Amino acid sequence: MSIVHRMDHFTIVTDDGEKTKNFYAELGLTPGPRPNFAVNGFWLYGPEKKPILHVIEVKKMPEPRRGALDHMAFWGEDMARTIAWLKKKNIGYRLMRAPDPFLTWQLFFPDPNGVEVEIDFSPTEPQPADWDGKNVMRPRE
């Protein structure tokens, strides 16, 4: 019997709530109901109407930063549009292809708080015209 059934949510901390909310809104997440916690923040919902990203707002980012979260991963659609959006925003990214047999496209980039975001795309999504076939398309900035 498994105790864990699926990923429920990620929580990040920000000292710029509006910038963070706008960033994730452009990725398709929308603000929604949140319990009346004693700390400020907001919850962002995915298309399945479930809160998948919890954001805690602080006046100053904690030093040292907590935890060892390496990245958070989402499943997405339309890789070309996502890459165009990253380029327009001048956000550095890495594009990789998972090894056989999966071949999933993996796109990595930072959010406004320095948290690494991964969006995975179906292996059937078209290869970007400027991808040279190597693991990394462009180094993180």
Locate 48 and state its tokens.
């399945």
At residue 137 the predicted structure's pLDDT band, cuts being 50, 70 and 90, is very low
Domain count, the chain: 2
Q: For residues 60 and 76, state if they share a domain.
A: no
Give per-residue pLDDT as tens, 17-37.
Answer: 999 999 999 999 999 999 988
What is the torsional sign of CA 37, 112, 96, 87? positive
Res. 134: pLDDT tops 70: no
CATH number for the domain spanning 87: value is 3.10.180.10
**Residue 87 shares a structural domain with residue 102:** yes
Final residue of a domain: which of 65, 96, 115? 65
Q: Would you call the peptide bond into 110 cis, given omega within 30 degrees of 0 as the criterion? A: no
**pLDDT for the residue numbered 138:** 40
* 87 and 43 housed in the same domain: no
Q: Please check whether residues 88 and 38 belong to one and the same domain.
A: no
The predicted pLDDT at position 63 comes to: 79
Q: What is the mean pLDDT of residues 123-140?
A: 71
What pLDDT shows up at residue 7? Answer: 84
What pTM was computed for the model?
A: 0.80
**60 lies in the same domain as 90:** no
Phi/psi class of residue 19: alpha, beta or left (left: φ > 0; alpha: ψ in -120 to 50)? Answer: alpha
**Containing structural domain, residue 119:** 70-141
